[in-house]
Amino acid sequence: MRLPIERYHRPESLAEACRLARELGDRARVLAGGTELLVRRKPGEPVPSDVISLARLDELRGIRVESGTLVIGALTTIRDVARSPLVREQFPVLAEAAALLGSEQIRSRATIGGNFCGAVPCADTPPPCLVGEASVRIAGPEGSREIPAEDLFTGPRQTALRQGEILAEIRIPPQPAGAGASFQRFGLRRGSAVAVASVAVRLVISSGTIAGARIALGAVAPTPLLARAAARELEGGRPGPEIFAKAARAAAEEARPICDVRGSAEFRRRLVEVLTRRALEEASARAVEAGR
């Protein structure tokens, strides 16, 4: 499939890219890794006349730590996120999730910014970032702003980006002492499978008690979803099978799945319960180990 592109823009700076995006509006598409530009278009949708390539914006690439905060440029490939020693040290659950995304070829092209801005419910990198209390820095013609990562997603394939804005960074703060996290997903085949359901969990355990809990669900709601009621079931309790099962059932109740070719809504709810329980068990073990 070919898009009848009339103009291909290669801005030299982020400011220039934002200016072009504002001027061209809906006529343009922003190109990062390019793995979703064709597959995202549905029949009947307007065909973009312009493409704004971010290929020359090295300022949007790379992984670094600033005052303890893990900063990942939006053009950083999924492969680099999965293999980064900094990510593995600072927030390993994100590296684990990135390693499960697509095939090696896709991971080598796809970017973490594209995985966020594609805003597909089944994206693998947002749920771990949500439990890690990540924020995103957004650049625009009037400057930059920072919002919680969960606020970026407003609907399927819809984001809070305004006209002319471009996602610049994902920022993950230092994790609390005694924190452990896990990411669990289910796909219909082992390689390159789109998630039918996914769950990320972060637990903070202090003196044998769950001092904090965050649970994020993927592929079972219009957007990545923080299961707040399920997390409340855990806080103040002692980690163990009973409380984990109760929280897993609560997470399944919070899910808002649909029926499609990959599975029924009921199947997805059951997956959420199973995956949440597994994630809680692994996150708990990791939190205990981190606290030693």
Q: Which pLDDT does position 173 carry in this prediction?
A: 98
Domains for the chain: give ranges and CATH numbers.
Answer: 7-53 (3.30.43.10), 58-172 (3.30.465.10), 179-291 (3.30.390.50)
For residues 30-51, average pLDDT:
74
pLDDT over threshold 80, residue 55: yes
Mean pLDDT, range 71-88, rounded to an integer? 98
Q: Are the C-beta atoms of residues 168 and 147 closer than 8 Å to each other? A: no
pLDDT at 3: 62
Q: Is the dihedral of CA 199, 204, 207, 209 positive or negative?
A: negative
User: What is the number of other CB atoms lying within 10 angstroms of the CB of residue 67?
Assistant: 7
Mean pLDDT of 75-92: 98
Distance of CA 135 to the CA centre of its chain: 11
- The 10 Å Cβ neighbour count of residue 144 is 14
Alpha-carbon distances, residue 251 vs 83, 134, 152, 201, 272 (angstroms): 30, 21, 22, 11, 7
Q: Which of 70, 202, 195, 40 is nearest to 124 (CA)?
A: 195
* pLDDT above 70 for 38: no
Give the pLDDT confidence score for residue 188 in this predicted structure: 67
Q: Evaluate if residue 1 carries a pLDDT over 80.
A: no
Tell me the residue type at 123: A
CA-wise closest residue to 141 among 54, 17, 11, 26 = 17
Average pLDDT over residues 17-22: 96
Mean pLDDT taken over the chain: 93
Among residues 138, 88, 93, 92, the alpha carbon closest in space to that of 113 is found at 138
Sequence letter at residue 192: S
pLDDT in tens, 216-248: 999 999 999 999 999 999 999 999 999 999 999
| 172 within 8 A of 90, measured Cβ to Cβ | yes
Distance CA 121, CA 19 (A): 29
How sure is the predictor about 104, in pLDDT bands with cuts at 50, 70 and 90? confident
What single string gives the DSSP state of each residue in 73-103? Answer: ETT-BHHHHHH-HHHHHH-HHHHHHHHTSS-
Distance CA 189, CA 102 (A): 11
The residues pairing with 158 across neighbouring beta strands, listed in sequence order, are: 155
Residue 37 CB neighbour total at 10 angstroms: 17
Residues in the chain: 292
pLDDT of residue 42: 59
Residue 137 Cα distances to 11, 120, 167, 247, angstroms: 19, 19, 6, 32
Per-residue pLDDT band at 44 (split at 50, 70, 90)? low
What lies within 8 Å, CB to CB, of 16 at 6+ separation is: none
